[in-house]
A and B are shown apart, each in its own frame.
Chain A
Amino acid sequence: MNKFWIVFSYTYWTKLKSKSFIITTAIMLGAIILGANLNQIIASFDTDKGPEKILVIDETGQLYEPVKEQFKNMEEKTVLVKVEEKEDKVLEKVEGSEEYPGYLILGLDESGLPEAVYKSKSVADFSTAGNIQAALQSVRGMMAASQLKLSPDQLQLLNSPAPFENIALSDKAKSEEELNQTRGLVYILLFVIYFTVIMYASMVGMEIATEKSSRIMEILISSTSPVQQMFAKILGVAMLGLTQLILMLGTGYFVIRSRLDSLQGGFFDFLGFEYTKTSTIVYAVIFFLLGYLLYATLAAFLGSLASRVEDAQQLMMPIQFLLMIAFFLAMAGLFNPERGFVALTSYIPFFTPMLMFVRIGMLDIPAWEAFLGIAVMLLAIIILGIIGGRIYKGGVLMYGKSNSFKDIKKALQLTKK
């Protein structure tokens, strides 16, 4: 068997069987399954309690019924309950029980229209207060209309909302709603790209630094060409990353399919599955791979310069900075995907994986732009691979204190005649 494949498969299998890989993968898969069942889990906490009751003191004797009806349409988990006691008794009741979040006093103002005071234990519960206000508002509207002797038709006309539609001029652009929906998934995939690239690229760098510091490197390079080894290792770890990614996507797909009905509303609206195209996922995988290859090549030759694992960490700082810059740019681009800087940086190789992905995910850019980005990446990977291979060849032979970039020059000199 070709030596490339021997190094490749050894790297892949030893890493695949390692405890750290098994544990991180298990945690990630667990998180996905947990996430998919989030609605049920949240629901299971909610159903423990019955509906919350807001006690109502109706000073008028006529407002309670209409307000209650209106409120019922707006909120299900809370009901209004009329009480006949005095306010101090009601206060005692509310403070004495978890069941009651607060109480409401309904009355009439000078003009004979409804007014209300809502006293609650927590002012933070805006939605309930807002709903009560809205319910009261519509009752007040109806009463005002009848004072003014408006017919129901006139009332309806008065209340009819102004038709408003937001239409993007370019039919390529996603609608505002779609954008908001897509943003969630792109955001998560960006995170995945960021973390996996940083994790697997530094895995390569660390692996090489470890081989160097344990001095097994000398045996390895006397058996196989260093450059061949470097790329076999990079691809072996890439395979490992793909394995993990496929496991994650596969599990994700499976649990989403099996629970499609329950995955609606709340958190899952944020992810916007309905608007996700398969191509977004495919591009995420492509840009993970390209980003990984670029950064792993960088990490490989930086790792080859270190004689100790501690030095390797220091040497790999620039990689983390570059990735962080790319990530922050991408985060900014997520909310303004059409800005010039997003388009510009999406063609700078170190930023392409994330910035181009943002543009692909958020806009409908023409395919050639995506392919141009991919081509730029491939070119950068090849150039970096050639330079990196030469540095690597010399770097693995260097020992001693090494944490400066002068070492690159020294390493190149070693490979000369």
Chain B
Amino acid sequence: MLNIENVTKRFGHFTAVDDLSLQIPEQEMFGLLGANGAGKTTTFRMILGILDETEGHINWNGKPIDYSASREIGYLPEERGLYPKQKVKDQIVYLARLRGMDKKEAEAELVKWLERFNVPEYMNKKVEELSKGNQQKIQFIASVLHKPKLLILDEPFSGLDPVNVELLKNAVQDIRDEGTTIVFSSHRMEHVEELCEKLCILHHGRPVVQGGLREIKSSFGKKNLVIHGDFDMRDLANEPGVIKFQPTAEGVRLQIDGEETAGRLLQIVAGKGFIRKFELEEPSLNDIFIEKVGSRYE
């Protein structure tokens, strides 16, 4: 169990993380979302013990995390990097040994992982000879080789093609199933929706949304309504309860404040003509994110 308790981090006058509390039970996959500069990396660095928290505490299974827990922790930083001039095997084994793994064991595990990622021939290649996506795979291996109990992945899927995203996603799920607690951040909302049971959205260092994916969505209130029909729907924009109006090729896409409004709108459009589609959708995480963090985001 990773317990983050009222943690605040200030750099001089700048507050990077403001009163953040999170409980992440074992074997859970937790998503930390936020715009650039929201405080995700600072939070990760505090979890890892690289930075000290200004206020509050972070505990892993009841103990603060320091270098003695290094064997149990895995970390994939957002800024990727390996020694460009050195062979994959040499540096991965080095990094694994720094995590407290035995040399032989690390080599054996590396062989398994390279085979899993269909790149066994990279064993003795220099990192600079690999493509960016493949370097990323190697770096992912570096963060999980020692079978950590707590795995922190900062933007694990950025810069990968869809095939490799699938490959990595499956790997992450398998690691979770083996009992690892995973905290990860991503810009890609669909990845978070797909993988996480729980999440937290950070904005300017403050948690603005927090909890299980399902509760977050249902408590958000707003829903999306898609109507396809061959009649003029422009006046729907002025109906009470309609928050956003967006014409599409086949009709409209509306954001409304709840199911009641949906019922009322159905009655209005029913008399106008033939309705090919009338569907009430759960809000996507993307909608929630943009709503909470603001449309300034990217």
Contacts and interface: CB of A to CB of B under 8 A. Distances in A.
Nearest to A214: B81
Contact of B97 (A6, A217, A225): A6
Interface stretch (A94-102, A313-321, A354-362, A409-417): A409-417
Contacts of A216: 81-83, 91
A215 B67 contact: no
Interface string B40-63: 000001001011111000000000
A210 to B, nearest CB: 8
Contacts of A215: 77, 79-81
Interface in A199-235: 211, 214-225
Nearest to A226: B50
B12 A413 contact: yes
Contacts of B100: 3
B83 A219 contact: no
A393 to B, nearest CB: 9
Chain B contact patch, size range: 20 to 34
A10 B12 contact: no
A354 to B, nearest CB: 33
B99 interface: yes
B90 interface: yes
A225 B67 contact: yes
Nearest to A10: B94
Contacts of B90: 14
A10 B82 CA distance: 15
A211 B99 CA distance: 18
B11 A222 contact: no
A110 to B, nearest CB: 83
B246 interface: no
Given A413-B12, A416-B52, A224 B67 contact: yes
Contacts of A211: 83
Q: Could you say which of A6, A214, A416 has the most chain B C-beta atoms within 10 Å of its C-beta?
A: A214
B152 to A, nearest CB: 8
A223 B72 CA distance: 10
Interface residues of A, number: 26
Interface string B58-98: 00000000010010010101011111101000110011011
A222 B94 CA distance: 14
Contacts of A6: 94, 97-98
B100 to A, nearest CB: 8
Contact of A397 (B45, B53, B80, B99): B45
A14 B90 CA distance: 9
Nearest to A216: B81
Contacts, number: 69
B98 A3 contact: yes
Q: Could you say which of A216, A220, A414, A415 has the most chain B C-beta atoms within 10 Å of its C-beta?
A: A216
B81 A218 contact: yes
Given A14-B90, A397-B51, A417-B53, A222 B83 contact: no
Contacts of A214: 81-84
A106 interface: no
A7 interface: yes
Q: Could you say which of B54, B79, B98 has the most chain A C-beta atoms within 10 Å of its C-beta?
A: B98
B48 A417 contact: no
B32 interface: no
Q: Is the interface of A mostly helix, strand, loop or mixed?
A: helix
A223 B11 contact: no
A6 B97 CA distance: 7
Contacts of A220: 95, 98
B142 interface: yes
A154 to B, nearest CB: 82
B151 to A, nearest CB: 12
A411 B75 CA distance: 23
Interface in B140-160: 142-143
Contacts of B45: 397
B98 A7 contact: yes
Contact of A224 (B52, B91, B98): B98
A223 B70 contact: yes
Nearest to B128: A214
A164 B100 CA distance: 74
Interface in A385-417: 397, 399, 413-417
Contact of B75 (A7, A222, A224): A222
Contacts of B86: 14
A222 B50 contact: yes
Interface in A133-184: none
A285 B90 CA distance: 32
Contacts of B70: 3, 222-224
Contacts of B142: 219
16 contacts: A10-B94, A14-B86, A14-B90, A214-B82, A214-B84, A216-B91, A218-B50, A219-B77, A220-B98, A222-B70, A222-B77, A224-B67, A224-B98, A225-B67, A413-B12, A417-B53
Given A224-B67, A397-B50, 9 more contacts: A3-B98, A214-B82, A215-B79, A218-B50, A219-B77, A397-B45, A397-B51, A413-B12, A417-B54
Interface of B: 11-12, 45, 48, 50-54, 67, 70, 73, 75, 77, 79-84, 86, 90-91, 94-95, 97-100, 139, 142-143
Interface of A: 1, 3, 6-7, 10, 14, 211, 214-225, 397, 399, 413-417
The 6 closest A-B pairs by CB, nearest first: A215-B81, A218-B77, A223-B98, A215-B79, A214-B81, A216-B81
